[in-house]
Chain A
Amino acid sequence: MKPEAAGRPTTLLAELTHRCPLHCPYCSNPLAMVGADGELSTDEWTRVFTEARGLGVLQLGLSGGEPLARADLDALAAHAHALGFYTTLVTSGVGLTRARAEALRRAGLEHIQISIQDAEDEAADRIAGARAAHVKRAAAAIVRELGFAFSINAVLHRANLDRIGPIIELAASLGADRLELANTQYYGWALANRHSLLPTAAQVDAAARVADEARRRYRGRMQILYVLPDYYEQYPKPCYGGWGRTYIVVAPDGRVLPCHGATHIRWMQFDTVRDRPLEWIWSESSAFQAFRGDDWMLEPCRSCPRKTEDFGGCRCQAFALTGNAANPDPVCTLTPLRAIVDRAVEEASVPDAPYRYRVLADVRAAGPSA
């Protein structure tokens, strides 16, 4: 399949590293992570960026792990800028000193997104598994002062959802242009911690009202995006506008994924930019071809009018919860598989269950391909 037939991607998420000073139990990275010695070199990353632009990618996310763990970050940002991407640095803010921020500004970086964990330092540091809240505030001030476009991202879960109001106020006081309030998606680390992260229906309802009111109040000053928790939705999310339609993730070791959760589908093989050009992987590789179109769909998706809107939902969630990645996303109330999600919601209320924190050391214990 040529790029014309496969469509052109718009977005590339470059997971530059899995190294990170935080240990958030909802991290979207896989349980089995890549160590520093497995990461792509500067030259390999710049080649990937050049190939991605040629393929039509417009949006570049420099992510991780913590991308500031890479000493060559400003060189990568400069190359991205020269190619004309709209580039976002997706960071915890830890390590974003004035000197590094100024170097990134000189490199032409446009947009920085800093994560915050909660409105209160103690609660934020507990979920992050690190004393980071005060460092993030300092980083936010630098980002603001240097004139970057500035987003804040807050992942929401049972322990902080009731403080969504104060979280919004904190983001506004830090001067964010944009706030993403993202309910936890249950893959990887978050799935392993679902029993301690999943909020109640009452929490979800109350939070949605607060977010909606704030979105109207801050209109024109701070754009607020509220991502609903899909376990409490009627229909599934479209997975990045459909599998292999617009989105590419490159893992720290160069494996190319149709979404950052794709490694959870255990049978799936991923080609790497060390072996193949990005264009071939996008157009031809088995991973990207696996769920394009609708030939793979089972009922009720196959005959469902919604299939062109949500593409049957998330393949990674279908695999994680049912063992078959071609099944309908069990979030969908049109499938009997929905009982799996309903049961998870019922069983979720374990008060004060301990978190299993994200640790890179798990990598070796779990093996490279687990």
Chain B
Amino acid sequence: MLTAASVPVLWRLARLDFDQVRGQPVLLYPEGALLLNPTGAAILELCDGRRSIAEIARMLGERYGADVDADVAEYLSRLAERELIHEA
């Protein structure tokens, strides 16, 4: 169960990429590809295994000028459920 203090990191087998054909960021992993919207990609780019979810949400909140805490937490929880991110 992730909390604001959790430090998320991408699964060892997953990698972020940019698909030139679709002009869209993607998360690639064995037997799967997740097409990402720009916000999803921005969240995952900050999952470096050092920052906490609270820090990631704060950085994005500043970037977008909005409170994104709940959105970031929900997005990462969904990916954790699919085992695409883990706690570092």
**Are A and B physically bound partners?**
yes
B75 at the interface (CB under 8 A from A): no
Q: Do A86 and B19 have beta carbons less than 8 Å apart?
A: no
Within residues 6 to 21 of chain B, which ones have a CB less than 8 A from any CB in chain A?
Answer: 11-13, 15, 17, 19, 21
| Distance from B19 Cβ to chain A, minimum over Cβ atoms (Å) | 6
- Measuring CB to CB, which residues of chain B are less than 8 angstroms from any residue of chain A? 11-13, 15, 17, 19, 21-22, 26, 28-33, 83, 86-87
Q: Give the interface size bracket for A toward B.
A: 20 to 34
Complex-state Cα separation, A83 to B42, whole angstroms? 24
Q: Do B22 and A8 have beta carbons less than 8 Å apart?
A: yes
Looking at A35-43, A53-61, A197-205, A324-332, the stretch in contact with chain B turns out to be: A53-61
| Distance from B14 Cβ to chain A, minimum over Cβ atoms (Å) | 9
Within residues 249 to 284 of chain A, which ones have a CB less than 8 A from any CB in chain B?
Answer: none
> What's the A-B contact tally at a CB cutoff of 8 Å?
47
Given A149-B30, A151-B30, A178-B30, also A55-B21 (CB < 8 A)? yes
Contact with A223, one of B17, B19, B83, B87 (Cβ below 8 angstroms): B83
Contact with B13, one of A8, A53, A111, A220 (Cβ below 8 angstroms): A111
A209 at the interface (CB under 8 A from B): no
Contact with A149, one of B12, B17, B33 (Cβ below 8 angstroms): B12
Chain A residues with Cβ below 8 Å from B33 are 10-11, 58-59, 86
Q: Do A58 and B31 have beta carbons less than 8 Å apart?
A: no
Given A177-B12, A223-B83, 9 more pairs with CB closer than 8 A: A8-B21, A53-B21, A56-B21, A58-B19, A58-B26, A59-B33, A86-B29, A113-B30, A223-B11
Chain B residues with Cβ below 8 Å from A220 are 83, 86-87
Write the A1-27 contact mask toward B (1 if CB under 8 angstroms, else 0): 000000010110000000000000000
| Distance from B23 Cβ to chain A, minimum over Cβ atoms (Å) | 11
- Measuring CB to CB, which residues of chain A are less than 8 angstroms from any residue of chain B? 8, 10-11, 53-56, 58-59, 84, 86, 88, 111, 113, 149, 151, 177-178, 219-220, 223
Q: Do A54 and B21 have beta carbons less than 8 Å apart?
A: yes
Q: Do A59 and B31 have beta carbons less than 8 Å apart?
A: yes
Complex-state Cα separation, A58 to B19, whole angstroms? 8
Chain B residues with Cβ below 8 Å from A11 are 31, 33
Q: Do B19 and A88 have beta carbons less than 8 Å apart?
A: no
Chain B residues with Cβ below 8 Å from A55 are 21
Could you pull out 28 A-B pairs where Cβ atoms are within 8 angstroms? A8-B21, A8-B22, A11-B33, A53-B21, A56-B19, A56-B22, A58-B17, A58-B19, A58-B33, A84-B17, A86-B15, A86-B17, A86-B28, A86-B29, A86-B30, A88-B30, A111-B13, A113-B30, A149-B12, A149-B13, A149-B30, A177-B12, A177-B13, A178-B30, A219-B83, A220-B83, A220-B87, A223-B13
| Distance from B18 Cβ to chain A, minimum over Cβ atoms (Å) | 9
| Distance from B82 Cβ to chain A, minimum over Cβ atoms (Å) | 9
